Amino acid sequence: MHEKVQNDGLILRVQNLKKYFPVERGIFRRVVDYVRAVDDISFDIRKGEIFALVGESGCGKTTTAKLVVRLLEPTDGKISFYGKDVSLMGRRELSQKIQIIFQDPFASLNPRLTIGTIVREAVRQRWEASGEKVKTKELRQEIEELLVQVGLPGDILDDYPHQFSGGQRQRIGIARALAMRPELIVADEPVSSLDISVQAQILNLLLDLRDSLGLSYLLIAHDLNVVRFLSDRVTVMYQGKIVEAGSVDAVYNSPQHFYTKRLLEAIPK
């Protein structure tokens, strides 16, 4: 088991992040208003921790996830990875530092590509980015290792996504993300679409990977039980703003903001 030191630097720092979507009207598409999806939020993630962003639909957590991975460009604000401004990094460089797992295991894998191709695209990318020459046999080996690492058999390279269950597809998605050897993984509702028994397996897997690979997670979720189990610190979002933040124990045991209280009360049982 590795020693995890939490105080050794902030792996991610988000400062005054804003994302406004313009609302256009009329045939000339005049901008009349803005949807303030993310409205001036700031938070830090320490290395090795699992940091959760919770809230209900429309609160801006998914938008934040996309901003961190730069699938969207912020309207304002700064995101830094170990102090380095993310907008100054090339797309390739960023993809080797931060990766993302998606919610819907059915939509996150290309239905027309084989599993081997899906994961190979990621591994190739990493090889090319680090200047290594692509060697077929080692490539295949690495793909198989990745699949085994997420709990799948290594011989599924020629199969297609539709042949697998939701939980298995989610594992493939995780393998793809791991192929880039990232240090931070943004997990956007990683278990929301899964059955309870599968959910437990994936949650265990995420924890195992965290320990064996020294990963940090930005967890986006709406299921407060999952968040409580998995995370170290949690931040509550509402309509684009942060309303409460703190360690999981603090927030769950003594919520301060009325919305947090409402959320916690609404958990059945």
Which residue in 62, 63, 99, 170 binds another protein (CB under 8 A)? 99
Q: What DSSP assignment string belongs to 160-190?
A: -GGGS-HHHHHHHHHHHHHHT--SEEEEEST
Structure tokens at 149: 């690492």
Binding part of the chain for another protein, among 18-26, 34-42, 118-126, 135-143 by CB under 8 A, reads: 118-126
Nearer of residues 39 and 232 to another protein, judged by Cβ: 232
Alpha-carbon gap, residue 53 to 209, rounded angstroms: 20
Binding part of the chain for another protein, among 12-20, 21-29, 80-88, 164-172 by CB under 8 A, reads: 164-172
- 168 in contact with another protein (CB under 8 A): yes
Nearer of residues 40 and 192 to another protein, judged by Cβ: 192
Which residue in 10, 139, 203, 213 binds another protein (CB under 8 A)? 203
88: Cβ contacts below 8 Å, ≥ 6 apart: none
Nearer of residues 135 and 262 to another protein, judged by Cβ: 262
Nearer of residues 40 and 228 to another protein, judged by Cβ: 228
HEC secondary structure over 238-252: ECCEEEEEEEHHHHH
Nearer of residues 19 and 66 to another protein, judged by Cβ: 66
Which residue in 108, 216, 235, 260 binds another protein (CB under 8 A)? 108
- Please choose, from the candidates 219, 159, 155, 214, the residue with its C-alpha nearest in 3D space to the C-alpha of residue 187: 219
CA distances (Å), origin 29, targets 19, 22, 37, 95, 239: 19, 10, 20, 34, 25
Tokens 């899964």: give the residue.
194
Residue numbers 76-95 binding another protein by CB under 8 A: 90-95
Q: Are 248 and 232 in contact (CB under 8 A)?
A: yes
Size of the site for another protein (CB under 8 A): 71
Task: For residue 62, give the 3-state DSSP assignment.
Answer: helix
Which residue in 222, 239, 241, 246 binds another protein (CB under 8 A)? 222
Binding part of the chain for another protein, among 8-16, 28-36, 38-46, 98-106 by CB under 8 A, reads: 98-106
Which residue in 29, 112, 133, 137 binds another protein (CB under 8 A)? 112
